[in-house]
Amino acid sequence: MAKDKTAFVCSECGYDSPKWAGRCPSCGRWNTMKEFTVSAEPKPSASTRAAAALGGTGRQRGAVRLAAIDAAAEPRMAMPDAELNRVLGGGLVPGSLTLIGGEPGIGKSTLLLQTALALGCRVLYVSGEESERQIKLRADRIGTPRGDLMLLCETRLDEIFAQIKQVQPDIVVVDSIQTIYLDGLENSPGSVTQIRECAAALLKYAKESGVPVLLVGHITKDGTIAGPKILEHIVDTVLQFEGDRHYLYRILRSIKNRFGSTAELGIYEMCGSGLRSVDNPSELLLTRENSELSGTAVAAALEGFRPFLIETQALVSSAAYGTPQRTVTGFDLRRLNMLLAVLEKRVGFKIMQKDVFLNIAGGLRVSDPAIDLSVIAAVLSSNVDTAIGSDVCMAGEVGLSGEIRPVTRIAQRIAEAEKLGFKRMLVPAGSIKGLEQQPRNMELVPVARVEEALRQLFG
């Protein structure tokens, strides 16, 4: 009888080698090689298991001429809520494997259960984490099933495939990939090999049957999806569910999407009866209550293709110690330092000996450079202790020489600001040249330089 062997697999890239190494020869990371025992008996591979479980041998296919493939016939399954549809790029693609990642307690199970309940088809909801009773209790909070929802509390993949064969679902949900395992692999559930093999088997099943599979994936402390990076390579779509647990809203972001854009964003609010999709994010992100206080400025930002107005708050005070503090929430610290340097150099405000705290309201992380102008405005507003009018908003990227650079999709930003009742909006002079339509109820103030913008705001 052959002896069992030991292999070392990199937890980052999945590289395996018979020898241990401090540094992975493939991806170059340190301390990522983990030891696994490989049983000497040959085991059916993940794909043959999936095929066998489904009673087929897998389709044998040769090369196909590109012109002969009918892509127009790709139907999408509409999801019950608009946010999920948007993030998926217009619905779930049949035969796709989608991974939803997020920190514990953020609402991944709630989102998927809620979706399963609202879908009008047969859904198999596999949970390796909760009992049937727990899921039922949660489902009762959310609502009654519209279609045919089948629950399965199981962690063995072979058994899951056996149930899939029996139930013949239209959609399969697996909560979570880290809890399920394949018999015969020596490693415990959640290990690199288990995750890789289970995901490969589910992918094979999805592709062959045309049934979309949704996977839940946990996130490690450093914010990456637990398990090897290769999980992200295997699946078609990776959605990240994020948000601050102290805030009620959650953001669903597309990180990878083989069938759509990754610029999309879905916003939800956690309520007593599940997640509510937020159609108008500005209403949630603008507090407007403290608008008469200094240090706040409203930016017309864009995330994906969605415009929304968001409040930037700054607090500037004299540095208590030698080195001034710079603290940011939801914004890039280096970018703040750059903007402060621009303020100092171009406008002549002595801000370098001050502590500066910056906060993007709502715990949202914005990467849109068009909020630069509002950051500068909020910092100055706090510094001179003068409030900016509550009906003023702005958009503009600030360059190193203090110029205000054009931003993308200005018409959409203007329309959103007007819809929300703003009366005055500072826009980059370069952006409004090509503008076809002027807003009816709002004044546009074109600004080309930071000094000009500040003069408009503070006189």
Nearest to 362 by CA among 398, 408, 331: 331
Is 342 in contact with 336 (CB distance < 8 Å)? no
Nearest to 312 by CA among 267, 263, 370: 370
Q: In the bound complex, what is the minimum distance in angstroms from residue 133's beta carbon to ligand TYD? A: 14
Q: How far apart are the first and last CA of the chain?
A: 88
Q: In the bound complex, what is the minimum distance in angstroms from residue 269's beta carbon to ligand TYD? A: 10
Decide if residue 104 touches ligand TYD (CB under 6 A).
yes
Q: In the bound complex, what is the minimum distance in angstroms from residue 287's beta carbon to ligand TYD? A: 22
Distances (CA, A) of 317 to 132, 134, 334, 336: 55, 50, 19, 16
β-strand pairing of 326-329 with 306-318: unpaired
Cα torsion 25, 26, 32, 38: sign? negative
d(CA 250, CA 268): 5
Q: Which does 138 bind (CB under 5 to 8 A by kind): Mg ion, ligand TYD, none?
A: ligand TYD
Identity of the amino acid at 127: S
Nearer to Mg ion by C-beta: 109 or 296?
Answer: 109
Q: Which residue(s) pair with 425 in the sheet?
A: 393, 444
Q: Which does 273 bind (CB under 5 to 8 A by kind): Mg ion, ligand TYD, none?
A: ligand TYD
CA 97 centroid distance within chain = 17
Q: In the bound complex, what is the minimum distance in angstroms from residue 161's beta carbon to ligand TYD? A: 23
Decide if residue 108 touches ligand TYD (CB under 6 A).
yes
Identity of the amino acid at 138: R
**3-state SS, residue 66:** helix
Nearest to 159 by CA among 175, 178, 182, 177: 182
Decide if residue 105 touches ligand TYD (CB under 6 A).
yes
d(CA 210, CA 56): 14
From 14, 107, 169, 396, residue interacting with ligand TYD (rule: CB under 6 A): 107
Decide if residue 322 touches ligand TYD (CB under 6 A).
no
Nearer to Mg ion by C-beta: 15 or 125?
Answer: 125
Binding-residue total with ligand TYD (CB under 6 A)? 15
Extract the runs of DSSP E, i.e. beta strands, from 264-351: 265-271, 274-277, 296-303, 306-318, 326-329
Nearer to Mg ion by C-beta: 139 or 297?
Answer: 139
**3-state SS, residue 142:** helix
Is 334 in contact with 437 (CB distance < 8 Å)? no
Decide if residue 272 touches ligand TYD (CB under 6 A).
yes
Is 354 in contact with 324 (CB distance < 8 Å)? yes
Q: In the bound complex, what is the minimum distance in angstroms from residue 290's beta carbon to ligand TYD? A: 27
Q: Is 71 exposed, middle or buried (0-12, 13-18, 19+ CB in 10 A)?
A: exposed
Decide if residue 141 touches ligand TYD (CB under 6 A).
yes
Return the number of other C-beta atoms located less than 10 Å from residue 221's C-beta: 7
β-strand pairing of 33-38 with 5-10: antiparallel
Decide if residue 138 touches ligand TYD (CB under 6 A).
yes
Q: Which does 374 bind (CB under 5 to 8 A by kind): Mg ion, ligand TYD, none?
A: none
From 14, 189, 274, 402, residue interacting with ligand TYD (rule: CB under 6 A): 274
Decide if residue 273 touches ligand TYD (CB under 6 A).
yes
Q: Which does 128 bind (CB under 5 to 8 A by kind): Mg ion, ligand TYD, none?
A: none
Distances (CA, A) of 252 to 99, 107, 248: 12, 11, 13
Decide if residue 101 touches ligand TYD (CB under 6 A).
no
Q: In the bound complex, what is the minimum distance in angstroms from residue 344's beta carbon to ligand TYD? A: 44
From 110, 178, 194, 383, residue interacting with ligand TYD (rule: CB under 6 A): 110
Q: Which does 134 bind (CB under 5 to 8 A by kind): Mg ion, ligand TYD, none?
A: none
Q: What does the binding site for Mg ion look like in residue numbers (CB under 5 A)?
A: 109
Decide if residue 204 touches ligand TYD (CB under 6 A).
no
Decide if residue 348 touches ligand TYD (CB under 6 A).
no
Tokens of 200: 């490969």
Decide if residue 115 touches ligand TYD (CB under 6 A).
no
Decide if residue 109 touches ligand TYD (CB under 6 A).
yes
Q: Which does 51 bind (CB under 5 to 8 A by kind): ligand TYD, Mg ion, none?
A: none
Nearer to ligand TYD by C-beta: 122 or 276?
Answer: 276
> What string marks each residue from 387 to 426 as x (binds ligand TYD by CB under 6 A) or -?
----------------------------------------
d(CA 124, CA 150): 5
Decide if residue 99 touches ligand TYD (CB under 6 A).
no
Nearest residue (beta carbon) to Mg ion: 109
The residue whose two tokens read 């608008």 is 291
Q: In the bound complex, what is the minimum distance in angstroms from residue 270's beta carbon to ligand TYD? A: 5
Q: In the bound complex, what is the minimum distance in angstroms from residue 274's beta carbon to ligand TYD? A: 4
Decide if residue 288 touches ligand TYD (CB under 6 A).
no
Binding site for ligand TYD (CB under 6 A): 102, 104-110, 138, 141-142, 270, 272-274
